[in-house]
Structure 1
Amino acid sequence: MEVLYQRIHQTLAALTHTPRNEDKTSPDSITPRTQPRNYEAFCSRVDSFRPGLWNVFEVSPLECARWGWHIIEKDILQCITCQEVVCAALPNLVDRDAHEKFLTLLKDCLVNSHKTACGWRHNPSPKELTQPPSVTTVEQLHNMTNSAHSLAALGSSLPQLDQHTLMSTMVQNLQKDSGLMECCYQS
């Protein structure tokens, strides 16, 4: 019976042990815990997907970040907690079947390539973190409108933006979400 308790204790110790780098004095040397609802940590993971590093357009960096992955090299993901690594390089589209097979495998790896005890395996960040924030006040609506006008001033370097349709949609959403019956917009 005592042997069983020792094995349980060793197993629990192994699961709760936080690996450290060589520099034990640095707070960054501690492997991060699973914090799926931490918006700043989520944004940090998304921010690691710099232009030119991620070429798998069929899988969003937002989805990778939801499952605890950040990018460490071109098309190479690493879990921020368990440190597992996934190569996301896909075969050329010339071989469509191979490309689709590897893409399916990659999507599966986002979930299942974590170590068994890694918290990300069964507890990703909520999908809400991948959505733009909702506009709930008139002030937020005006701020977003001002931002849209600033972007529109950039002209042809941006995609076409129909401001009237955007504003109508935003006002409808604002009225629906907050019960606001009247909203005045002055251009």
Structure 2
Amino acid sequence: MEEIQDISATNTPEQSSKRKIEEVFSLFRELTEPGAEVIDEEPKRKFMRVTQAQYKNITEEQNKVEVTYDPTDFKSYMKRLSTFDISFIPDSLRPTEVSRFGWENVDIDKLKCVTCAAELEVSFPCIINKEDVQKEEEKFDKQLSTAHAEHCSWGRNPCSDEIYRFRQLRQDHAVEEFRQRASELIKLGENLPVIKTDLSEEFTQTVIEALRLDYPLDSRIAATAGCLSLFGWEYQRISNSFDIIRCKLCCRRCALTNFRNISKQKTIDENKQKDHQETLKTTAECQTQDNDTIMQEDQHQEQQEEKLKSVEQTSNQQEQTSNQQEQTSNQQEQTGIKDSSDSINISPASDKDDKYFASINIEGLPKTPDERLFDVQAEHKYYCPWITGDGKPVKIRTVEQLVKKHPGWHLTLEAVVKSTCQKDDNKSETQIDNFRSILSPMESNPFSEVSNE
């Protein structure tokens, strides 16, 4: 993927100030509302209504700062796309499609053409009837072309459908970019977020081999940095105490303070191990005490049985004498039995049993809520080519369907694995299939949306 650089178009001082304020608010929304853009399920359907298309008289001074029409300019397309904050816009607006027609988002309810300065105002009514929804969407699709000024070329010749498709690179270039992203992420060390997906030992070893590091590195850090890089995430430092990771293709930025990091996970694991050892120790102590109690009870029971046997023998001897002696011996026998039964002690349940069960930390889970784990797919905007391949989400049901869309992480995974298995094609194909299944199980794929095609 070509390096995408931030572009600042020439604007008037007033426009520049307004844009800076909007960017600050946009960044604030993204970084203080974690998960606002995460699609955990099929996106909720929100709708829009075109209310007015406005055309302004463009002065000579304004005309100088208008953007030159160029539907093949990918950087300009990305600049327009970056103006859309999908945390509040309706799904039917489809930022990737709107940007193709030269529109940028200048306000919550307003679009503006970057060339002819035409403005398209929209509202977001609550529409329940499906027919009305379809009519509004069709109307909006037409307005993307017709709302431009007559002389504007965006309505007649928008960007190609392929402009937002992930660009496949040569294997060596893809691997080199993968290493560059991972190397920057490694600088975060134990401040890297914990990945939601369990990374296998095979995946970890493949990443370490692909990175070709010339220094020792914790395998967990290497695997995490490799997985993030595989899905297009990059490290960006805003200040000395504020780190984020971002995706250049969908302009998603995630503050690391919103996620559990490796350092905290290690503390949790150590506490879990400590609790487990304490549990084993307490269990062993309880079992030892129970065994001692049982042995004492057995010994006491044997003594009582011997005493009873002695009484029975005495009573049998006295039975051969007179009836009075027999009655006396019977009374002695009954007395002996009563005494023996009264003297048998049955130990009550030890209070250590309660202590034992109270000490158990179920499944080693922390007793207090913690930060969420980082989902390398769902944290992208739902149309990101790293996940969709072409920026057009459709309902994905099988691995084969996802492979056909050529998402960026698939192409990068193929390049990385093949670089470590250059002489064994069968092994590389097997590893690729295994890693795809581990990193993106179909039953939990969050990017499922009704096809717009």
Does the alignment reach a TM-score above 0.5? yes
Q: Which runs of 4+ in 1 moved over 6 A?
A: 152-155, 165-168, 171-174
Instruction: Report deviation, 1:157.
Output: 2.3
Structure 1 counterpart of 2:143? 109
Instruction: Report deviation, 1:122.
Output: 1.2
Structure 2 counterpart of 1:31? 66
Instruction: Report deviation, 1:168.
Output: 10
Alpha-carbon contact 2:116-2:148 (below 8 Å) kept: yes
Which of 60, 69, 72 pairs up with 1:20?
60
Listed one character per residue, the Cα deviations across residues 73-115 of structure 1 (whole Å, up to 9, x for unaligned) are 1131111111111123343132332222111100111111111
Distance verdict in 2 for CA 1:168–1:118, change over 3 Å: closer
Unaligned runs of 5+ in 2: 1-57, 183-224, 232-260, 263-371, 379-386, 388-398, 422-430, 432-453
Number of residue-to-residue matches in the alignment: 156
1:47 aligns with 2:82: yes
Superposition TM-score, scaled by structure 1 size: 0.65
Unaligned runs of 5+ in 1: 1-17, 23-27, 175-181
Structure 1 counterpart of 2:106? 72
Listed one character per residue, the Cα deviations across residues 150-187 of structure 1 (whole Å, up to 9, x for unaligned) are 3689983214899xx8899537977xxxxxxx933369
Structure 2 counterpart of 1:83? 117
What secondary structure is seen at the aligned counterpart in 1 of 2:104? Answer: strand
Larger relative CO (CA 8 A, sep 6+): 1 or 2?
Answer: 2
Superposition TM-score, scaled by structure 2 size: 0.29
Structure 1 CA distance for aligned equivalents of residues 65 and 139 of structure 2: 30
Instruction: Report deviation, 1:41.
Output: 1.1
Structure showing greater Rg = 2
Which of 111, 116, 140 pairs up with 2:174?
140
Structure 2 counterpart of 1:156? 373
What secondary structure is seen at the aligned counterpart in 1 of 2:418? Answer: coil
What secondary structure is seen at the aligned counterpart in 2 of 1:143? Answer: helix
Structure 2 counterpart of 1:179? none
Matching residue's letter, 1:184: S
Structure 2 counterpart of 1:131? 165
Distance verdict in 2 for CA 1:65–1:97, change over 3 Å: same
Q: RMSD value over aligned CA atoms?
A: 3.9
Distance verdict in 2 for CA 1:97–1:49, change over 3 Å: same
What secondary structure is seen at the aligned counterpart in 1 of 2:158? Answer: coil
Structure 1 counterpart of 2:383? none
Listed one character per residue, the Cα deviations across residues 111-143 of structure 1 (whole Å, up to 9, x for unaligned) are 111111111121111222211221322331463
What secondary structure is seen at the aligned counterpart in 1 of 2:149? Answer: coil
